[in-house]
Chain A
Amino acid sequence: DTAVSQTPKYLVTQMGNDKSIKCEQNLGHDTMYWYKQDSKKFLKIMFSYNNKELIINETVPNRFSPKSPDKAHLNLHINSLELGDSAVYFCASSQGTGGYGYTFGSGTRLTVV
């Protein structure tokens, strides 16, 4: 069983479109995250949710809106996609504040054309 699963794995879309990426974890963790990995492999946190509540919201354009319907799911919706949004987006989860580390999903490669 995949611990943290993301769908879709690949997403190619045109500029201006709206798209969503879904994430689910079956580890029983109470905290979930979205990270963006750019073309230089640099990983930056975007959002963090604990028990469906937003606890970290880094400097991210408000075109990005996370939604957590329950503590096992954290989806990422992106409006009006831009070329610069092309990246790999990783979902992760942890128990509490992640003292034992985060478990990452396999990533979603988003390409905006």
Chain B
Amino acid sequence: AQSVSQHNHHVILSEAASLELGCNYSYGGTVNLFWYVQYPGQHLQLLLKYFSGDPLVKGIKGFEAEFIKSKFSFNLRKPSVQWSDTAEYFCAALTSGSARQLTFGSGTQLTVLP
């Protein structure tokens, strides 16, 4: 079964610092990858997604992620975080096959200090 790992459980940064959140997946076949964000008390919102092609994908709010197939990784980055980026971030993978489902990592809580 596929799995998604996020090794950073809680990241604390000051405003304007650069961000990188790690995500690794365990699946050898074709996989679609996503990052979602959940602001406090709200639902999950899609930040960005990767299907194929350019491994560097850009999303909303200045976020980007790089797919590195050899490392089974899909790390999320932002050059300069803002206080409003404080939220829970989830990496997710959707595998190919007949019973596709979106499998989430355990999430990373990002706290940005003003």
CB within 8 Å for A99 and B101 given contacts A42-B107, A90-B44 = no
Judge whether B106 and A101 touch: CB under 8 Å: no
Nearest CB in chain A: distance from B51 CB, A: 7
Q: 8 Å CB contacts to B: which residues of A19-69? A: 33, 40-45, 48, 55-56
Q: Quick one: which of B49, B90, B101, B109 contacts A100, CB cutoff 8 A?
A: B49
Chain A min CB distance to B101 (Å): 5
Q: Is the CB of A97 within 8 A of B94?
A: yes
Given contacts A98-B94, A98-B100, A99-B94, contact A104 B44 (CB under 8 A): yes
CA distance A88 to B43 in the complex (A): 10
State the majority secondary structure of interface residues on B.
strand
State whether A105 touches B32 (Cβ < 8 A): no
Contact A45–B49 (Cβ < 8 Å): no
Total chain B interface residues with beta-carbon distance under 8 A: 23
Q: How far is the CB of A29 from chain B (nearest CB, A)?
A: 13
- Residues from chain B with a CB closer than 8 A to the CB of A106 are 42-43
**Beta-carbon contact of B101 and A56 below 8 Å:** yes
Task: Pick the residue among B45, B102, B104 that contacts A98 (CB under 8 A).
Answer: B102
Known A41-B88, A90-B44, A97-B94: A102·B102 in contact at CB below 8 Å: yes
CB distance from B84 to the nearest CB of A (A): 19
Interface flags for B34-77 (1: CB within 8 Å of A; 0: not) read 10101000111110010100000000000000000000000000
* Interfacial chain A residues near B90, Cβ < 8 Å: 43
CB contacts (< 8 Å) of A101 on chain B: these are 34, 46, 49, 102
Among A33, A44, A48, A105, contact of B43 (Cβ-Cβ < 8 Å)? A105
Q: Which residues of A contact B (CB under 8 A)?
A: 33, 40-45, 48, 55-56, 90, 92, 97-107
